[in-house]
Each structure stands twice: as C-alpha cells, then as structure tokens.
Amino acid sequence: MLRFLARLSARFVFVVASVVTLVFFVQRLIPGTPADAIFGPDAPAVQKQIWLHERGFDRPLQQQYKDYVTHLLRGDFGRKLIDDKEIGPQLRERLKATFQLGICAFAFSMLFAFVSGILAALREGSVIDHSLSLLSVLLVSSPVFMTGTILLWLFAVQWNLLPLTGQQGFKSLLLPALTLGAALAAMTSRMIRATLLEVLHENYIRTARAKGLRNIHVYLKHALRNAILPVIAILGLQLAGLLGGAVITEQVFTWPGLGSLMIEAVNQRDYNLVSACVVVLAVVHVTVSSAVELLQKLIDPRTPDVAG
C-alpha cells in the first residue's frame, strides 16, 4: 500500500508540474501579447512596451517561469492583467460554484445510473431494458450544448418551470446539473447493467439462490457488491470528464463557475488568470482520479496497481 501511495503522489506531482509548464510556455508561443488585448491593435507600440516592462513580460522566459513557479508554490496566483485584481478570491468563488454544479451532476448521474442499470439488468430483454438502452445511447451521443439547449427550451421556455440562465438558487442548478450529468449517468448505467448481468450468471449466485436466499438478498449482498468494483475502476475517468463538460455547460447556462472564468481569461489573453484556472482544474482532475483509485484499492486489495 505504501508503494501504491508513493506512486500516486509521484504521478500527482508529475502531472501538475507538466500542466504548469505547458500552459506557461504555450501561452507565450501564441502570437500577440496581453497588451494587444488590453490596448487594442491601434495603440502605440511604446505604450504596450511600457506596460509589458512594468509587469516583467520582457524578461527572459526562464526567469519568468522561475518567478511564476515560486509564487505558485506559495499559493499566490498573482493578479489579473485586465484590472489588477487578486486572482485568489475570485478563483475560490468560481471554484465553489463549479463544485456545486459538479456535486449535483454527480449525485443525479449516480441515482439515475444505479436505478436504471439495476432495473435493466433484472429485466433483461424486456421493453424496459430496450427503452433504457435507447435513452442511454441518446444521452451519450448528444453533445453537452445540444442536451443543454433542449432542456432549456423545454423547461425554461416552453413550460416555464425553471430559470433560463444565471445563479438564482437551487432551481437554477437543476438544468445545468442534469445537462452535465446526463452522459455520465448513461455510461455508468450501461456499465452497471453489463457487470451485473455477468455476475448474475456466476456459479456462486446460483448457489446462493439454491440455498433459498431471497432475491433481494442475493442481488444486494452478493451480485451488486461484486459488480460495483469494475464500475469504480472506470468511474474516476468519468468523474474527471465532468470538469471538461463543465466548461461548456457553464457557458450554455451562464453559470458563474471556473469554466466560464477560464473562457473569459482566454478571450482577454490574461496569462495569469488562464494559468490559474488550468492549474486548479488539473489539480482537481488528478486528485479525483487518485482518490477513486485509492478507494478501489481499499475495497479490493487484490486490484493491480495502476498508478505510476
């Protein structure tokens, strides 16, 4: 277990360091500078050069990189280039909104996945099974922006049941959460159905039934307990995918989260803000993946080490 934890930690450091390095240098390889976005293309070159010099953008790249990493290790993300405000407070506020969205999306997806997956497995070949299978295919195949647009049109425009956009309490959270969790719910549902069907055909399940155990006892204690392990193995990757979907979802629903903040930063060519958003997303991504792997290892110590 210690070796496994060491590999997880080493991978965490490697991935985050790689992301920090890539986002720093890639931004500076793109033609143009933040001064071009702030002052516009018609501003005097001398004005732009003075602005860049005051903020250290004319120094050697290795020196800029060293200073950036030093501040980052202290937890200092710097200041926004567009208005010189501290990035940290705004980053925490936006990250909180993204976490709210992600947690609600995950809760919805797991509820739908377990109910529909178990129901489809227990009613294999029935109309319910085929209907849930078709629904899962549609949810997985539909892009996030299409799912969000359809939900907006139905619940906000046609039926006027939920707010259209923005952050106006719990009701405003429902549509973005449903949109973000739809694909994860569908994929997890199909995985639960497949693994549960495989387990239900094992000999020990037949033995448990032959002993006279009730079906509910067989399903919950013997079948579902063993069927859930392969699902957990893939769930970490799917959870991390929520972050990518959050960027689009927040744009569709004007949700004030980290994804929409990153889009704003890219449009403004704000190096500091873009770097802060990407680094935080990378840290969350690797943390979630590592936590799921650790959970799987604790549930079943026989699980091979996949970290490293």
- Structural domains of the chain sorted by starting position, each given as residue range(s) with its CATH number in brackets: 91-256 (1.10.3720.10)
Q: Which residue has the tokens 């449009």?
A: 267
Give the separation between CA 175 and CA 292, rounded to whole angstroms.
Answer: 27
Reported confidence tier of residue 304, pLDDT bands at 50, 70, 90: low
Give the separation between CA 197 and CA 9, rounded to whole angstroms.
Answer: 36
In this structure, the number of other CB atoms found within 10 A of the CB of residue 18 comes to 11
Mean pLDDT of the chain: 85
The residue among 198, 295, 278, 292 whose CA lies nearest residue 238 is 292
The per-residue pLDDT for 303 is: 62
Reported confidence tier of residue 227, pLDDT bands at 50, 70, 90: confident
At 21 the three-state DSSP class reads: helix
Q: Output 208 or 151, whichever has higher pLDDT.
A: 151
pLDDT at 76 over 50: yes
At 23 the three-state DSSP class reads: helix
Find the range with the poorest average confidence among 35-39, 127-131, 148-152, 247-251.
Answer: 35-39
pLDDT at 277 over 70: yes
- Give Cα 66 distance to the centre of its chain: 29
pLDDT at 225 over 80: no
What average pLDDT does range 99-111 have in this prediction?
A: 90
pLDDT at 10 over 80: yes
At 79 the three-state DSSP class reads: strand
What average pLDDT does range 150-177 have in this prediction?
A: 85
Helices and strands, number each (H, E), in the chain: 13, 0
Contact 120, 194 (CB under 8 A): no
Run of H or E residues at 64: helix 61-73
Q: What percent of the chain has pLDDT over 90?
A: 25
Find the range with the poorest average confidence among 35-44, 50-59, 72-81.
Answer: 35-44
pLDDT at 240 over 70: no
Q: b/e for 193-223, b at 16 or more Cβ within 10 A? A: bbbbbebbeeeebeebeeeeeeeeebbeebb
What average pLDDT does range 275-283 have in this prediction?
A: 89
Backbone region of residue 124 per phi and psi (left: phi > 0; alpha: psi in -120 to 50; beta: other values): beta
The per-residue pLDDT for 308 is: 45
The residue among 168, 143, 115 whose CA lies nearest residue 252 is 143
pLDDT at 87 over 90: yes
Give the separation between CA 252 and CA 255, rounded to whole angstroms.
Answer: 8
Q: Output 240 or 269, whichever has higher pLDDT.
A: 269
Q: What is the pTM of this model?
A: 0.82
Q: How far from 249 is each of 98, 181, 268, CA to CA, in Å?
A: 10, 10, 20
